Structure 1
Amino acid sequence: MVSHGSLARLWPPRGRWADAMPAGGVFILAAAGGLRSLIGERQQPWPVTAFGWAMIAAACGALWFRRRHPVAVALGVLAATAAYYLTSAYDGPLLVAFVVALYTVAARGRTWAAVALAALSVLAVGAGTLEGNDDVNGVGLFMLAGWLVAVIALGRARHTRLAYVHEVEQRAAGEERLRIARELHDVIGHHISLISVQSSAALHRIRKDPGQAETALAAIKKSSREALRELRTTLGLLRQVDEEAPTAPPPGLARIGELVESARTAGFEVRAHTTGEPVPLPTEVELAAYRIVQEALTNVARHSRATAVTVHVGHAPREVRIEVADNGRGPDRTAPGSGISGMRERARALGGELTAGPGPDGGFAVRARLPHRDGASWQA
């Protein structure tokens, strides 16, 4: 018994099967319609019959290459089909081969070439009608034109849909790359900045105050271990399907105390407080809040020359407000980096907002508002 997964892998056909199946199907249809030329009463000489079968084989065989050379194949199929109908006394369904080729031209985005081919075929059939071909009258010619226009429209619709799907996939891939890059920037940037500050302190104090230097080196070891742990968790997003997925929970508001403690070990006076009634938050809100506080503290360590930092987390109905303010001079706008823009992107992705600029009492302040649903309604 064939499983649904097996059928999904076989259909739609891909690669060589996608080339062979239409060519084979049209050949079977045309051959079935041309069997009268091999059995029953003869209406034409055998050489003419052989030529007709050669045209059937040529038109159907050309369909194998229709995706690689759509316009050339359509021209060849049109020529073979015309030769068949002009010489054969038996009207078979070989016109289907040209319809398939014409559809492929339109589906590959060559709309004007498809229109030109359709017009050429209608003009050829019309010329035959004027020359006395009783098999096709004016009504039949009109219906043929309508069918060809419909085929071109279907092919064009197929091309438009594939282009749209490709654009959506490219956009999703770009957004995923930006998300991963933002995670890596936040994880690595924060800890490396703390390590830089702590190592500088250790170098200055190693001779004068070995005890302080030892404390700084211990903080460096802790920051390095934490950076490695978070890096492994982030890189787990890139694991293959058959690899073991990371089991560590993503960071959230419950771990902001760790960020505060790391900043204190780097020599800052940090005051942290929470207001409002905490409620269960969606994972993406927890992660965004943590990363915003992390990146704000990273900017303080890198650029502000501050000595004191205040971290405030306020819980309000259906939103979380975050503020990280220092008494320094703020980040250097000429310095390379994308920390503030990354924080702003995180807030906007959740429908919130983030501002960063001079505080009312000097220094620099980062303020974010992250809307959310309450935990019960989110999980329902």
Structure 2
Amino acid sequence: MTDLPRRSLVDLLDPRGPRPRPVAHLVFGSVVLSYVLVRSLNALAEGRFVPAHFAYPDPVFLLMLGALVPVCALWPFTAWEPGAPAPRRAATVAFLVSCTVVMPLTAEFGLHGLVAVALALALCAFGLRGGLAMAVVFALLNTVLGLAGLAFGYALFNGALLLLYGLGVLTAVRALVGAARQAHRTRELLEELEQAHELLRAHAARDRERAIADERDRMAREMHDSTGHHLSAVHLCLVNAERAVAALPPDLPPDLLDGLREDVGQARRLTKETLADTRRWVRALKPVALTERSGAAALRSLTDSFGELGVATSFTSGGAWPEDLDAEAELVAFRCVQEALTNALRHSGASRVDVDVRTGARALELVVADDGRGPDDGAPGFGLTALRERLTALGGTLETGPRAGGGFELRARLPLTTNERARELEAA
């Protein structure tokens, strides 16, 4: 996670990185400024710059103090992770050596934090062995320097205290690094879980679409084989009845003959209209199968099939249809045209529908325009809402609404995703 609002406190305190982190800058700056402040106040109180209790000649103190210059200069170039470029590793080593020169000054309050910073840097840059080696070097140096003004036992005790201090710092830094790694791993697992959840949702949507398609096919077959067959039989009977009425003897009462002709004729017309409407529903529920044709040919066949139901249709296309287009993307493109044609036939009252398909370098654009009135309430129905969700899931867009000059228009844009690319996205 690179965005700050999503990072936890553990992430902010994690010292690892190609360069010092903001928290490390804060600690280092505080250490140096606090020592400068303490040394200045002590110098004013003692009336001399070199501390009175310093056991070595004054030039030695100035040499140690001067090592703060390379410490501050090298600080921005230190590397807080293994495998850093050679220049940064060299700057890190030089920084640790300079800290070793400055370390004797920790007898005066203010630079104990510099020891902690150096140990943390050695641990992050060179691993546990590097951190332990730095802690031992600090402890031995403190012991040797302590022999100048202390008894052997006291000097050894001071060295042991500094070693214990160093081990405590290393333990705390290792715990912090371990917590940061665990937090990072947990975040990765959550991201993988979210991706798996999205994949499951996509598979569930496909299964739901297949189930809906199967149910629509079943309903279409039942309407065609049952209702459509019965209506055809009734219509044929009524045609025969009209012929029978026309052949009745002319000596029958005129009112009776006229009434029979009108009733039978009206029944035949209503049956014919109902049969035509049933065929429209069958066509809307069960369009031309994608397995028979693919690409622009399937869309053209679908458009032509709706032209057989009393509405004028036209189909135009441009660009080369990708041969390896993802099956899900091709199905969504087919559903876009199907939904627009179905709405124009059933709801819009259109007399003409124009379908235009354009294949670009990166996206497929579908425009279906009619001369109807569109949805009665201006709000998209369930079909358009579900279609927009499927397009969004594939990175596409859907726009619907009135068009200039009257009529209704559906405009869809679908990124071109090949089967191989789709498999790569699912595997990722």
TM-score by length of 1: 0.46
TM-score by length of 2: 0.41
